[in-house]
Amino acid sequence: MNDKVAIITDSIACLPSDLIDRHRIKIVPYSFYFGGKVYKDWLDITPSEAYELFLKDPESFLSSPASPVEYLKAYRELSRYTQNIICVTLSSKLSTAYNVALMAKKQAESEFPRTSIEVLDSQTVSAAEGFVVLAAARAADDGKSLSEVVKAAGAMRSKVSLVAILDTIRYVYRSGRVPKLAARAGSVLNIKPMFTISSGLVRVVGLTRNKNHGINQLLKAVRKKVGQSPVYIAVMHAYALDEAEKLKERVSSEFNCAELWLTEFSPLMGYTCGTGTLGLAFYEGD
């Protein structure tokens, strides 16, 4: 048993495998159903493979959040070698993950009371959530206490941003926030919404019919916040690797990047966003 703080998050954080391995982050995967089979997000199948299934029959692609049993299993596994755990979830306003993780925490406290568990609502999603997780993991790697690790994650939560553009509005009705008829009409009109995450909720901040114009708007939004300061950026995509790599090249050439990596949107997000989505998660460095 040691004093190191162990880190747990969900697969919606969209962290690349090299960062997961480097910081020994435990991932609780979400599930999706297709063709009578259950798949564990990022575990049984890659995001790209999942999007290929999605494109075959989008209406048969169904998602499911992680259960209390899965969070309890993660707590139990990590409690074998540490007494300190932080679990970072996606926004509680977008998912039940935070409440589910809290339910599992209560069970864990009765099962192994010597282990301290903190559950933190990242108030965001995707790689922005990933940056909150990384802040916790890096503080833990520096030997910080559980309270200090929680503080580092909370500080990151308050400064990380996310902007993204959909390639289609066709599937957003699945979020429950847009009527199906309106989503279909927007798809016919080729409307591409630009959105951000604010106070834990998705907010549409612009509309375009030209994706290149939308990408320019994404970069403009980042530039407005960070200027010439060092910036930490993750480029995200949903089955649009070529576009994402080009966007990453632009980011690298136009910004003072202290950190830059590329990842895929979880297919559980693609369930409502559709393929072709591009986004940037970022924060200004010191």
Architecture of the domain delimited by 2-30+65-158: 3-Layer(aba) Sandwich (3.40)
What angle, rounded to 10 degrees, do the helices at 126-141 and 146-159 form?
150
Token pair for 264: 């895929």
Q: 64's torsion region: left (phi>0), alpha (psi -120 to 50) or beta?
A: beta
What pLDDT, on the 0 to 100 scale, is given for residue 188? 37
- Residue 102 sits at φ, ψ, to 5 deg, of -65, -40
What pLDDT, on the 0 to 100 scale, is given for residue 190? 61
Fold of 161-284: Hypothetical Protein Tm841; Chain: A;domain 3 (3.30.1180)
- Identify the sign of the CA torsion 39, 46, 202, 121: positive
Give pLDDT tens digits for 146-202.
Answer: 999 999 999 999 999 999 998 876 655 344 444 343 334 334 346 788 888 888 888
What pLDDT, on the 0 to 100 scale, is given for residue 2? 62
Q: Per-10-residue mean pLDDT for the chain, 286 residues long?
A: 87 96 96 91 90 86 89 97 97 94 97 97 97 98 97 97 84 45 41 84 83 94 95 96 98 97 89 86 93
What pLDDT, on the 0 to 100 scale, is given for residue 209? 79
Three-state SS annotation for the chain: CEEEEEEEEEHHHCCCHHHHHHHCEEEECCEEEECCEEEEECCCECHHHHHHHHHHCHHHCEEECCCHHHHHHHHHHHHCCEEEEEEEECCCCCCCHHHHHHHHHHHHHHHCCCCEEEEEECCCCHHHHHHHHHHHHHHHHCCCCHHHHHHHHHHHHHHCEEEEECCCCCCHHHHCCCCHHHHHHHHHCCCEEEEEEECCEEEEEEEECCHHHHHHHHHHHHHHHHCCCCEEEEEEECCCHHHHHHHHHHHHHHCCEEEEEEEECCHHHHHHHCCCCEEEEEEECC
Give pLDDT tens digits for 108-124.
Answer: 999 999 999 999 999 99
**Residue showing tokens 């959909």:** 166
- 95 and 126 Cβ atoms separated by less than 8 Å: no
CA 111 to chain centre: 30
- 237 and 277 Cβ atoms separated by less than 8 Å: yes
> Domain map of the chain by residue range?
2-30+65-158, 161-284
Q: What is the chain's alpha carbon radius of gyration, rounded to the nearest angstrom? A: 19
Token pair for 165: 């553009």
What pLDDT, on the 0 to 100 scale, is given for residue 64? 84
Q: What is the pTM of this model?
A: 0.93
- Identify the sign of the CA torsion 74, 20, 133, 172: negative
Fold match, 2-30+65-158 / 161-284: no
